[in-house]
Structure formats: C-alpha cells, structure tokens
Structure 1
Amino acid sequence: MISILIVDDHPAICFALKVILEKEGKYAVAISNGENLLAQIHQHRPQLLILDLELSHADGLDLLPRVNQHFPELKVLIFTSQPAGLYALRTLQAGASGFINKNMSLEHVEPLCQLIAEGYQCFPEGVLHRAGIVQEHRSDPDNMLSLLSDREIAVLNFLKQGKSNMEIAGLLSLSNKTISTYKTRMLQKCGCDDLSQLIDMMAAEDRREDR
C-alpha cells in the first residue's frame, strides 16, 4: 500500500480526493493544510506528497525545495489551480515528479500517482523537453513572467491574493523591506509601471491555460 499525504487547504477537495484514492485499497491517505509541513511529513512518513501551490499558510513553490532537501526520496505531485505554463517547469526544476491542474477531473489524479510511484515523471506535454533546453533559452520572449525567480513568483501570487507586504513577509519568513525590494525588481524586469500590470500578466497566463 502506498502512503500519500495531501497538502491542500480546501477541505472539500481533500475529502473527495481521499475517497477516490482509497477506493481501490491501494493507497493510505492523510491530509494536511500545509501548516508546519516538514513536521507533518516527519509524522506521516508518506511515499508521495500531493501538494497544492496556493496555500493559506505558505507558498507551495517556496516549500517544494525545502521538502526536496529534507526528504530527497519523497515523490511530489503538484495539484494546483495555477497555470502549467508558468509553474510546471519551475516545479520540475524544484524537485517535483509530476504536475496536474485542478481543472482536470479528480479521476485523473490516481493514474498519475501510480505512474509517479513507479518512477515516472508526469508533466504536461513539452515540459520535459523545455527542461532539456532551459540553459540555452533562459526565458520565453512571449511571457515576461518567465524572467522572474521562483521567490518573486511566490511574492506576486500572494500580491494577487490581496495580501499585504507584512503578511507576505510573515508567510515567507522575510522582512517587509525585502518584499518591497522584490516588488521593485519585478517591475523592472517586466517593464511594468505598477503592480496591477504584473497581476494582469499573471491573470492573462491563467486565461491562456484555460483555453
């Protein structure tokens, strides 16, 4: 039996996914909202982590490298509403084994869990190819957000949620000044005059993903 820890702060999604995964008796599933995640992993000792990127207590993309550092054998499936075009390659580079968007049916999650448990990588079409050439082409000229670092993307995502500098600083264990520096740097990299333009870029990426 494969042990799984679902990390998501939407109880209805967690419950539905747990029911689907445990239906055939192949998986033992525990649930976490992402708070004190490393301690939760120590407690449950899962073989597979199903991780949302957008959590109330933390940013999944920020958590992923730490999970990989402390638990290098743990396989991670990213399960998120965030666009694959912006996040899939980043999560692969941060140590994830797979990526699926929440706009897919929950029934698609179980086959991916099985493949990942067997040692396969499961990402949207083209992501693994892009990973092979990423050193040669560091950014996508059609997507200025590709110029941003993972930490900057995490900050921008929290800003999109309407969180203040102080709230973001607490979630990412940074200072208010550092958050302000990230905001200035993001504007400079993307050639934007204000944060609303950056947030509009992220929303446009979401819309492209839904097509």
Structure 2
Amino acid sequence: MGAKCPVYVVLKDARIRRNLVETLRAEQYHPTPFSSGSDFLEALNHLPAGVAILDLHLADNWVDVLAQLLGRRKDIPVVTTAENVNIQTVVQVIKVGADDFLEQPFSKEMLLEVIDQASVLLASREDIQRQRDCADSLLKKLTTRELEMLRLIQSNKSNEAAANELHLSVRTIETYRLRIMRKCGVTKFSDAISIVAIALDGRRQL
C-alpha cells in the first residue's frame, strides 16, 4: 500500500490523539498531532494539503477555528468529531462548512472510511486553493485606486458612472482598465473582475 495524504489530528484528549496518530501511521497516512486549534492555525501556512480531524471540545471556540481554517485553506477537508453531541450541533457544524462528522467513540473502520471519503475531495480542493492563491497574488499588485475603480465597475457601474464617482475622466478610467488587465494577465476586463472576486471572497471569510 502506497503512502497516503497528510492528516492533521487536532484533538484535546492526549490519549485519543496518540491512538489516532498510531492508527493512521500504520495505515500509511502522514498524521500530525495538534493539541489546540490555535497551534493548528499557527502552523496552517506551512502545512501541505491534507485532511483535518477537528475536535469540537477544544479549549478554543471550534466555530472560530473552523471558520478561520476554511477561510484560509480550501485544500484541507475537515472531519469534525466529538462525543455526546446533539443533532443541532452536528447541523451547525455542517452549515459552518465541515465536510463530515464522526461521533466518538468510533471504530478504526469508521475512522478510515471517513478519512478516505474526505481525501477524495483533495484534488478539486487543491485546484480551488491554487486559484485563490494566484488571485490573491494578483490582487496585491493592484493599487488602492485600481481596486476602488474595479469594485465600482464590478457593481455594474459604467465607465461614465465610475468616472463621476471617482472624479476622473472616462479616458482615465479606460487607462485603469487596461492597466488592471495587464497586471492580471488577461485580455478581457470581465476575467480580471473574476480573478479579483475570488481573492476578495477569500479575504472576507477570514
């Protein structure tokens, strides 16, 4: 059996965390343990794509941890886990954006099945993350005025309306449009809007 994806075991209980790491390692996964959500989030920028197992009973607020994780990394599918959780909490977890819920105690077979299902999502999620990273990189190239102008046109304002609101000439607005397209590496302004929208959406989720 070949090596499998990284799994981030973010669990409060040291014994369960240790057992999961041993089990996953024996199954050729690459587990990394974290005892708190804050430690996991601190390391997030340096972690490769993988599956996260997130404890709902962390000392951190799990809603905040999950929201930050989903806002920053689309390429880490999340399986939440806990014991004695009511159905309302499970529904909330899924609404926030978790991919699955694993009730404790669970069997080895159930654990591996849920992780296997989550790992299937990795390819598409990595592609989304690449698009977001690329869009964010392009966004950083734009000036404050260029972003302001782009947002106006994105909200269906014409060149003339954008020029009036920014107290600029239409010719200046057209120049900005060409400059933005050049920075984004596209030939259609609608493509530049799409790229920037992806980056702005990612920032709003943080």
Per the normalisation by structure 2, the TM-score is 0.53
Name the structure 1 match of 2:31: 29
Give me the whole-angstrom Cα distance separating, in 2, the residues matched to 1:78 and 1:87: 11
Matches within 5 A, 1:111-150: 111-119=113-121
Amino acid paired to 1:53: L
Name the structure 2 match of 1:97: 99
Name the structure 2 match of 1:155: none
Give me the whole-angstrom Cα distance separating, in 2, the residues matched to 1:2 and 1:84: 30
Q: Structure 1: where are the runs of 5+ without partners?
A: 121-211
Deviation string, structure 1 residues 69-108 (Cα, Å, up to 9, x no partner): 1112210000112414022111111111110111323441
Bigger share in helix: 2
Matches within 5 A, 1:157-176: none
Matches within 5 A, 1:1-211: 1-25=4-28, 27-34=29-36, 35-56=38-59, 58-119=60-121
Q: Structure 2: where are the runs of 5+ without partners?
A: 123-206
Amino acid paired to 2:47: H
Amino acid paired to 2:21: K
When residues 119 and 54 of structure 1 are mapped into structure 2, their CA distance, relative to the original with a 3 A threshold, is same
Contact 1:5 1:44 in 2 (8 A): no
| 1:78 aligned counterpart, secondary structure | strand
Q: CA-atom RMSD, angstroms?
A: 1.9
Amino acid paired to 1:66: Q
| 2:101 aligned counterpart, secondary structure | strand
Contact 1:75 1:116 in 2 (8 A): yes
Structure showing greater Rg: 2
Counting aligned pairs with the same residue, the percent is: 17
Which structure 1 residue ranges, 4+ long, deviate > 6 Å from structure 2? none
Alignment size in residue pairs: 118
